[in-house]
Amino acid sequence: MNPSADPGEDNLRVALLEDDLLLRDRVLLPGLRNYGFVVDGMEFAAELWEALPRRGYRIVVLDVGLPDADGFSVARQLRGMDPGMGIIMLTARDQVPDQVRGLSQGADAYLTKPVQVELLAANLHSLARRISHAAASDGNGQWQLDANDWCLRSPQRHSVPLTRTERKVMARMLATPGVSVSREELVAELTDDVHDFDMHRLESIFYRLRRKVEATCGEALPITAVHGEGYVMTPAVH
């Protein structure tokens, strides 16, 4: 079966880390190659670190339970090294906390075994398209909202899910980085009745958001209170 979408002008090279020899060599590698990907199979994380500078992988498919490494840690390291890299976690761990952890550590998708090759290939093609589109517009190393505006993306490409209220507040803060936003402006994003709004609630929103960002991705959200004015979001420094 031919792929329904081209991952780019050239097939993106994929590293597949899977220690199940039968699954890797008999199912996943030939299956993905049939969908147009150039895939290198590996058993150990050490193989990836050795090959990465030479092979220039743009996507890594990663098992959590590797013989020599924790897949979550590998995902975090990859994301830190290359914010634009595509990472798909493929694992038997199907519990929600594991899925949240994988996505928070930097994975773009979290798929559970057994997986249909067609589904994995579809995710790879989708991710390849996003990488191609993002190459020109993303990668500025700033805090930003994802395309659907429901996740906050850190400079290190960690994703933090937002509530409806947090989303509205962050959209306003990100609209004018480095410029103080008054409390009244922020409250106006949340309610039509500004005068009846408890300002302590706004402080609580930012307090919880800072804690969530720190717990989820280990990065400090650079929003500070400006006495007598409001809040300011400091742009990342390169």
Q: What is the pLDDT of residues 168-224, one digit of tens each?
A: 999 999 999 899 999 999 999 998 887 788 888 999 999 999 999 988 878 899 999
Residues 165 and 222 in one domain: yes
Query: Rounded distance, CA 207 to CA 49, Å?
Result: 38
Q: Are residues 199 and 123 in the same domain?
A: no
Q: Is residue 7 part of a domain?
A: no
Domain co-membership, 60 together with 125: yes
Q: What are phi and psi of 141, to 5 degrees?
A: 70, 25
Domain with 209, as residue range(s), is 144-233
| pLDDT exceeds cutoff 50 at 114 | yes
Last residue of a domain, one of 109, 137, 165: 137
Range 118-122, long-range pairs (CB < 8 A, 24+ positions): 118/1, 118/35, 120/28, 120/31, 120/32, 120/61, 120/88, 120/90, 121/3, 121/31, 121/32, 121/35, 121/37, 122/4
pTM score, whole prediction? 0.58
Q: What is the pLDDT of residue 66?
A: 94
Q: Are residues 113 and 166 in the same domain?
A: no
**What is the structure's pLDDT at 21?**
94
17 and 133 belong to one structural domain:
yes
User: In percent, how much of the chain has pLDDT > 70?
Assistant: 89
Which helix (H) or strand (E) segment is 45 a member of?
helix 45-55
Q: Are residues 24 and 105 in the same domain?
A: yes
Q: Is the pLDDT of residue 26 over 70?
A: yes
The span from the CA of 71 to the CA of 18, in Å, is 10
Reading the block at residue 90, the tokens are: 């493929």
- Alpha carbon distances (Å) from 24 to 19, 30, 42, 163: 7, 9, 8, 38
Share of residues in the chain with pLDDT > 90 (%): 54
pLDDT tens profile 116-169: 999 999 899 888 877 776 654 544 668 888 756 678 888 877 778 888 899 999
Q: Structural domain tally of the chain?
A: 2
125 with 150, same domain?
Answer: no
